[in-house]
């Protein structure tokens, strides 16, 4: 391969880390705020960041654009809840210019769905094709308990609005031993009947919350075994460079993803990095490594200096994560709402 072949669409060399992995996927958290307080994600009384610490929409755009220039092909906006950020649609619409040039192959977001009835149409119009919606239960009372006050009807209406706008929806469900373990087959049936894939996620030890995670942890190996007692699960050779494995359920005809960060080593193929809403770049979800891109930006960096800072951070991407559910302390002190899912 000549250096020219290896160049990103913008003509710069791609982002390759110290272990030879090419980074092509950025998850960008646009806010730490949220209209829900999921028990495994946030503390009941969260202290949110002062506005001055959070990247402005222009800064978010500039950093995302720098990554696109370095060969990032997929951009996922997350949070906190991305759709509660003021000006979010303007950011999505601005970033969609990279879809039009072909530099970006996918612009997507992960949302709790509460505001989709309002925004689904604009997201679709901006070129968003697929979204992930988090939903752990269809039961109104349990949803209210898990989210500390949320209304599941809003989320369901949001999912319907997204599909009506032409967006493909994937449901993300965190598997919780005491709360939704028994409902998982119903959730899968419900999603598949609507033409939505569903991905189950094991709880991850991120950030201090009140509940004891050892109590909530449900192994997806056990869930899978239980599903296999009444369904036929066919392995799918789908590799997204992430921790998900996929199967097709013969009886429902739909796809099920299983994200098991604690029981599987998926790090060798990892192609992603995460940027918090304060501009901190984490190149590994399970390590404390961090680079402050906000400081670089606010010091007046040129595009070239920003690209250099990104390269330096990616070069040091750790080999693998370091989760251990049995530990008393979380492996990583930051909450998922800060890092983005
Ligand atoms: N607010 C949006 C949402 O809920 O989809 C986007 C951000 S949220 C932090 C992204 C995903 O992370 C959600 O699917 C959520 O269920 C998941 N999540 C949050 N805390 C988690 C934890 N401790 N372990 C596993 N998944 C977690
Ligand atoms: Fe909010 Fe998403 Fe965290 Fe739930 S998981 S509290 S919806 S950021």
Residue 36 phi/psi, 5-degree rounding, is -120, 170
Whole-structure pTM over 0.75, yes or no? yes
Closest ligand relative to 33 C-alpha: 2
Distance from the CA of 86 to the center of ligand 1, in angstroms? 20
Probe target for ligand 2 pocket from 40, 110, 112, 172, with the most ligand atoms within 8 Å of CB: 112
The helix (H) or strand (E) run that includes residue 108 is strand 106-111
Q: What's CA 157's distance to the chain center, in Å?
A: 22
93: in domain? yes
Question: Which CATH number covers residue 58?
Answer: 3.20.20.70
Count up the domains in the chain and report the number. 1
19: in domain? no
10: in domain? no
Burial of residue 130 (CB within 10 Å: 0-12, 13-18, 19+) is middle
Distance from the CA of 79 to the center of ligand 1, in angstroms? 9
228: in domain? yes
- Tens digit of each residue's pLDDT, the chain (341 residues): 333 334 455 567 889 888 888 999 999 999 999 999 999 899 889 899 999 999 999 999 999 999 999 999 999 999 999 999 999 999 999 999 999 999 999 999 999 999 999 999 999 999 999 999 999 999 999 999 999 999 999 999 999 999 999 999 999 999 999 999 999 999 999 999 999 999 999 987 766 666 555 577 888 999 999 999 999 999 998 766 667 889 999 999 999 999 886 554 567 778 889 999 999 999 887 677 789 999 999 999 999 999 999 999 998 877 776 654 444 445 555 666 665 55
Give the largest Cα separation in the chain, rounded.
60
4: in domain? no
Given its phi and psi angles, is residue 276 left (phi above 0), alpha (psi -120 to 50 degrees) or beta? beta
The residue contributing the CA closest to ligand 2 atom 3 is 41
134: in domain? yes
d(CA 203, CA 211): 12
Q: Check if 38 has its Cβ closer than 6 Å to any atom of ligand 2.
A: yes
d(CA 237, CA 221): 18
- Residue 293, SS3? helix
Structural domain range at position 178:
25-339
- What is the atom index within ligand 1 of the atom nearest the CA of 339? 9
137: in domain? yes
Q: Which two tokens stand for residue 82?
A: 């991305």
Q: Check if 131 has its Cβ closer than 6 Å to any atom of ligand 1.
A: no
Distance from the CA of 330 to the center of ligand 2, in angstroms? 18
* Contact between 73 and 106 (Cβ < 8 Å): yes
């Amino acid at each position: 391969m000549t250096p020219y072949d290896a160049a990103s669409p913008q003509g710069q060399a791609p982002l390759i880390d110290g272990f030879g992995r090419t980074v092509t996927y950025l998850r960008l958290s646009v806010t730490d705020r949220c209209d829900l307080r999921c028990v495994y994600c946030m503390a009941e009384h969260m202290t949110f960041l002062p506005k001055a610490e959070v990247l402005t929409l222009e800064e978010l755009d500039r950093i995302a654009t720098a990554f696109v220039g370095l060969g990032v092909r997929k951009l996922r906006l997350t949070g906190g809840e991305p759709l509660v950020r003021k000006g979010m649609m303007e950011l999505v619409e601005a970033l969609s210019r990279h879809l039009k040039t072909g530099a970006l192959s996918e612009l997507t977001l992960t949302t709790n769905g509460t505001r989709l009835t309002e925004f689904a149409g604009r997201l679709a119009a901006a070129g968003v094709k697929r979204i992930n919606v988090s939903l752990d239960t269809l039961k109104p009372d349990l949803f209210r308990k898990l989210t500390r006050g949320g209304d599941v009807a809003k989320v369901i209406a949001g999912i319907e609005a997204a599909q009506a706008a032409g967006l493909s929806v994937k449901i993300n469900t965190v598997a919780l031993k005491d709360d939704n373990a028994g409902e998982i087959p119903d959730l899968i049936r419900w999603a598949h009947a609507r033409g939505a894939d569903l991905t189950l996620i094991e709880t991850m030890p991120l950030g201090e919350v009140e509940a004891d995670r050892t109590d909530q942890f449900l192994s997806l190996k056990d869930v899978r075994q239980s599903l296999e007692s009444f369904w036929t699960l066919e392995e799918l050779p789908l590799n997204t460079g992430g921790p998900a494995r996929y199967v097709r359920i013969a009886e429902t005809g739909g796809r099920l993803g299983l994200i098991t960060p604690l029981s599987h080593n998926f790090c060798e193929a990892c192609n992603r990095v995460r940027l918090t809403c304060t501009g901190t770049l984490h190149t590994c979800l399970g390590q404390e490594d961090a680079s402050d891109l906000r400081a670089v930006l606010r010091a007046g960096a040129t595009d070239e200096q920003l690209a250099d800072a990104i390269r330096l951070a990616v070069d040091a991407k750790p080999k693998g994560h370091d989760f251990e559910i049995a530990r008393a302390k979380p492996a990583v002190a930051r909450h998922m709402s800060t890092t983005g899912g």
